Chains A and B, each alone.
Chain A
Amino acid sequence: MLKEAVISPKPRHRLTTRLWHWINALCLLVLLMSGLTIFNAHPRLYWGEYGANNDHAWLAVGSSERTGYLRLGEMRIETTGFLGNWKDSDGRTRTWAFPGWATIPSNYSLADGRRWHFFFAWIFALGLTLFMIRSLWNRHIQKDLRMRAEEWRPSHIWCSLRDHTRISVIRKSSGEPYNVIQKLTYIGVIFILLPLMIATGLTMSPAMDANWPFLTDLFGGRQSARSVHFLTAFLLVVFFLIHIVMVLLSRPVRQIRAMITGGDARETGQ
C-alpha cells in the first residue's frame, strides 16, 4: 500500500509526447500561415516539372474587377471576401490570394514569409525525427498505435467510424486506449502526412534537386511536389479541425490538462 502511494501515477501522456505535441502544434501553425504567404506569391498549382503563368494550372486563385475567385480545373467558385479579393484591417481592398488574417506576416512579404517558414521547418523536422526515434525506443508507437488483427476488420473500422459521429459516445470516451480510427489517423499523420510535407518541401529546392534528384522523380516533378505540398497541408488542416472538435466534445479541460501536465493513466482504460 505504502509503496503504491509513493510511486507517482503513470501519466496518460509521456513527457516527450507532450513536449513534441505543443512544439509541433506551434510549428505547424506557423508553417501553415507563412506557407500561405509564400503561396500568395504565385497562387497557381500545376502538375509536372514546370509550370508558370502560360501553363495550365489545375488550381488558381485570382481576382477580376471587384471579385475574387478560386478556379479548380474548369470549375470557378466565387470567393469574394476571403480569397483573391478581401478587405484588410484598415478596410482597404486587397487582391492577394489568402487574406492577411491567415498569413505570417499579415502584410504580403514573400521574403519574410520564407524566413519564418524555413526557421520553423527546421524545428518541425528535428522535432518530428526526435519524437519518432524516442517513441519507437520507448515503444509508445508499438504499444499504443499498433493495429491488432481484429481491428483490421472492415466491420470494426466502420463501427468505430460511426462512433466518432455520436456525441454521446465521444463524451464518454476517455481518449486511451486508442480506437482503430485514432490509431489509423495518428499513424497516417505522423508517418505519412508529416514526412510527406518535408519530402515535398525539399523537392522544391533547386539545391536538393542536384543533391537528391530521386526526390523530383518520386513526385513527378517540382510543380507536382508543390501541389502535393499544398494538398497535404490541406489534409493536415482537416486533421487539426477534427482533432479540435473531438477534444472539445470529450471533456476538453481534462484532455488539455493531460496534454500539459501528463494526467493520470488510471483515468483512462489503460
Chain B
Amino acid sequence: MAVTEALSEPPLEIEAAVARGRFLRAVMRNRKAVIGAIILFVMAFTAAFPGLIAPHSPTAALYGQNSPPSGSHLLGTTQLGQDVFSQLVWSTRLTLVVTLIVSAIATLISTVVGVTAAYLGGAADRVLTVITDIFLILPVLPLLILLATYLPPGPTSLVIVLCITSWAFQARQLRSQGLTVRNRDFLVAARARGERSFYIILVEIVPTMTSLLVASFLSLAVYVVGFAATLQFLGLGNSGELMWGTMLYNAQQASALEAGNAWWALAPGAAVALLGSGFALLNYAFDEIGNPALRPVRRRRKRRDRASA
C-alpha cells in the first residue's frame, strides 16, 4: 500500500518537466532522431499489419521455384516456391517482438543488479560485480552450442540465450551511475525516515536514471537485432518461424547464392541492418540531445559601442 501511495504521485523527469516543449523541438530538429524514428515507425507498422503490405502468403509454396524478382514477386521466390517479399514482411513481427522483449528483460536485469550492487555496497556489491563480470566474459559461442543442445530451437530459447548474454554490460554502466547518486542527500533522507532498501532502489533511485535506461534499452536493441540474426543463422532457430534470421538460415541451407537467388539472402540481411540502424540513430540522437555540451550556445555580437553613445 505504501508503494502505491508514492507511485500515485506522478514521477516526472526533471529535464522533461523543465523543457518538455524544448525536448520535442530538439527531437524534431535532430536529423538522426527523425530518420531513426521514421525507420522504427515503418517497421512497427509493418509488424502490426503485415497483411496490408505483403501481396502473398509467406508460407504457401505455390509459385515457381527460385524465380528471380518480377512484378508479381518483388524479391523472387524461394527454393520451395514461397514469395520472398511476403516472407520478409511477415518476418518483421517476430523479429521486432523478440528484440523488444529481450531488450526490456535485459534492461530490467541489468538495472536490478547494477543499482542493487551500487546501493547496497560492501559484500553484496562485490558478489554482484563478480557475477556481472562472469557473464561479461562468458564465451558466447560455446555457451550457445551448449544451450542449443538442451533447449528446443525456437523464439523462446532465442530470448533466453540473448537475455543471458546481453545484460551484463549495461549492469556495469548502471552500477556506476548508481554509485553517483548513492550518497545524495535525498537518499540519506529516505534511509533516515526508515524506507526499506528495495523501496529506495525501485522508487527513489531508478526514476533518476530514466534517460540512461532509455539509452541502455536502445543500445541493447541494436545488439539484439544483430545477434539474434547471427544465432538463427547459425541454427538456433526453428526454420519454420518467420524471422529474418531464419530466412537467412534457410537461404544459406538452400545455397541461395549459388542458385542465383541472391535477393533471398540479401533482403533479410538488409532488413536487419536497417532495423539496427534505426535503434542506433535514435540512441545517438538522445545522446546529443541529452548532452548540453553539444548544444549550440546563443551568441550575439558584442555591443561595446553602445556605452559611449
**Chains A and B form a bound pair:** no
Residues of chain A at the chain B interface (Cβ within 8 Å) = none
> Which B residues contact A (CB, under 8 angstroms)?
none
